[in-house]
Copies of this chain bind each other. A is one copy, B any other.
Amino acid sequence: MIRASPSALLIDLYELVMAQGYFELGMHDTAVFELFSRRLPSQRRFLIAAGLEQALAYLETLCFSAEDIAYLSSLGLFSTRFLDHLRDLRFTGAVHAMPEGTPFFADEPILRVTAPILEAQLVESRILNICHFQTLIASKAARVLLAAQGRRLVDFGMRRAHEADAALFAARAAYLAGFDATATVEAGRAFGVPLAGTLAHSFIEAHDLESDAFRNFTLTGPAGTTLLLDTYDTERATRRVIALARELRSTRHQILALRIDSGDLEAQARVVRSLLDAAGHGEIQIIASGGLDEHAIEQLLAARAPIDVFGVGTALAASTDAAALDMAYKLECYAGKARRKRSSGKATWPGVKQVFRECDAQAAIVDRIALAEEQFPGEALLQPVMQRGRRLVPAPSLSETREYCRRQILALPASLRQIAPGGEPFAAIVSSKLRELAAGLDRTDS
């Protein structure tokens, strides 16, 4: 690992207070919690499950250090007996989950934890914190992927991602969902995400003459250079690049691409493309960036803007159209009995569940949310991934996951692949046994 995991104290206080309750009351029976999204953000037609690898790593390594215990003790909220128990605690439970990169929909559990209730409860905050974020970003990246129709996509989001971890894991989640590269160097090292980068306006401005900046950057940078056109005047900058390319013709220095970062990207890309083509530089690519999201990209490509690569930053890494999902981690079963929260607007489907996905003859998806004990045609999406606190199979490589995810996204029915808002949200079929169970629980008095 490149960086130590956050301590076990990255947790909501109430998990610890409840854990003490379960401990003191001798409630050691098995609980089943499930992670799911109650509804999708208005613009989203599907979500992409992500973060499982980090969630499993968290569960495998969870422990409270002596310093953690000392701090908790200083709060005056916990008994010595409970803190002694916490000191020795490891996660000993089982996990079932959808593979990372799987599209999913409202109410479908993507991860199920089965463990003594104290453990299953304790991991709620961080499991949510991990899976929510990467799912959020992978889901956003998938929309950008669909809009870009095969154009190359680079994550430029580090600066406005929500602090360090968000930058790092946004790069991972975006790559997982089909992005080609990231500018965040640490994501290259930690996850093998390919790196890409250009230059900033400051490099140009630090020179008195833009043409000197272009020459200097090309001569001192990597063999294949990208230059930035819009510091002063994009058209004039393009002519300077063409002159420079002529000057460097017989050297090892090659200009591979030009970036436009502001203004009317479509109009500017056209001007740049035609100047380049007229000068015989059909090989130089155009990169567009600057406030791009899936809608802007869709519009640029609908207008046939000659853009080869899109750099997407803030809209991706902070998922600005929907910066959070209505994701929850809920108790569905304790001591063998199904449980159900009935809070207004937040009722959950009780019991241990499975999602069965069938593709019909029209390539449409039929999902069934059912009790895990039921059998339906199609694929059972929740698979065992951890038992007794240990992973069952080695993690797939990130490129394997990425390939799986790309296939899944591109195989979605056309109505779900649409970027524009509108249309009925996809709803899974809830099995009649599950409906009966829920209705039965509602009749019992708690």
Contacts and interface: CB of A to CB of B under 8 A. Distances in A.
Contact of A158 (B125, B184, B217): B125
Contacts of A126: 164
Interface string A169-195: 110000000000001111011000001
A371 interface: no
**How many copies, total?**
2
Contacts of A165: 162-166
A339 B158 contact: no
A205 B10 contact: no
Contacts of A220: 20-21, 24-25
21 contacts: A7-B186, A9-B189, A10-B168, A10-B185, A13-B183, A15-B200, A16-B197, A18-B217, A117-B206, A129-B159, A132-B160, A162-B163, A201-B330, A202-B331, A205-B339, A210-B446, A263-B344, A263-B345, A290-B346, A314-B324, A318-B324
A75 to B, nearest CB: 7
Given A71-B189, A132-B159, A163-B169, A33 B221 contact: no
Nearest to A78: B222
Contacts of A335: 206
B210 A129 contact: no
A442 B381 CA distance: 60
A86 interface: no
Interface of A: 2-4, 6-7, 9-18, 20-22, 24-25, 27, 31, 33, 71-72, 75-77, 117, 121, 124-126, 128-130, 132-133, 136, 156, 158-170, 183-186, 188-189, 195-210, 216-217, 220-222, 230-233, 261-264, 290, 314, 318-320, 322-325, 327, 329-331, 334-335, 337, 339-346, 446
Given A9-B185, A318-B324, A128 B159 contact: yes
